[in-house]
Amino acid sequence: MGKVYLTKRLEFSASHRYHNDAWDEARNRQVFGASNRAPGHGHNYLLEVTVGGSVSEDTGMVVNLFELIGTLGKPTICAVNGHCLAGSLGIALACDLIVAKEGAGFGTPEINVGLFPFMIMALIYRNVPRKTANQMLLLGERMTADEARAAGIVNRVVPADEFDGAVAEWAAGLAKKSPVVMKLGKDAMWRQMDMPLMDALDYLRAQLTIELSTEDAIEGVTAFFEKREPEWKGR
């Protein structure tokens, strides 16, 4: 599993190159993750998401990053080890799963300094109930990890000594799935998100037909009836 290190001090042009190169590499991996821990020994960081250029450059980078995460074709895990505020919260919400350490904090404090979280608003409204989103955006209050889980932002909150193990457990579980079926599913999750109901059902029916024609779908059903682990072909 690759990890993303969030920092605040590099020029946009450099960070833009980093995330494009890293994403090319990540497309060949089964699981891609994000972390807000500082880099250290044993960590494999594929990219650094940075803020430091002009407003138009930084906001353009954010939009590109949200799209890249959504269209990567891999499941993404965000491991939150500290404060996850403002733009960092948007990146977290763009990921599929969020594991938070006890003591982590979440929120959109921009309104408290005379700003508004325009760029991440779209992701917030797609992840949490409307009234909760309104409260976050208008009051700028911080949430604890447990409050974020109750709001639907976080999937799992774990104690500090279980944090790395919990992230690794989910990453290993995701990596065991069929890569071709995972990509089909992830692509469908992204494309059908804002479709009208009947359009979504028509599209998903076509994706089901494609899925059932894959070797991995046949192998999965066969392995189930033979009571053994599947051996994925990736096609």
DSSP 97-165: EEEEETT-EEE-GGGGGT---HHHHHHHHTTS-HHHHHHHHHH--EEEHHHHHHTTS-SEEE-GGGHHH
Q: Are 33 and 69 in contact (CB under 8 A)?
A: no
Do 89 and 106 have their domain in common?
Answer: yes
Domain extent, residue 17, equals: 3-175
Do 76 and 28 have their domain in common?
Answer: yes
Q: What is the model's pLDDT at position 78? A: 92
Alpha-carbon gap, residue 159 to 166, rounded angstroms? 10
pTM to 2 decimal places: 0.78
Q: What is the model's pLDDT at position 6? A: 46
Q: Is residue 209 in some structural domain?
A: yes
Q: What is the model's pLDDT at position 87? A: 87
Q: What is the model's pLDDT at position 3? A: 52
Q: What is the model's pLDDT at position 63? A: 85
Alpha-carbon gap, residue 163 to 217, rounded angstroms? 33
Q: What is the model's pLDDT at position 144? A: 96
Do 134 and 201 have their domain in common?
Answer: no
Question: Domain tally for the chain?
Answer: 2
Do 189 and 166 have their domain in common?
Answer: no
Chain-centroid distance, C-alpha 40: 22
* Segments of the chain scoring below 70 in pLDDT: 1-58
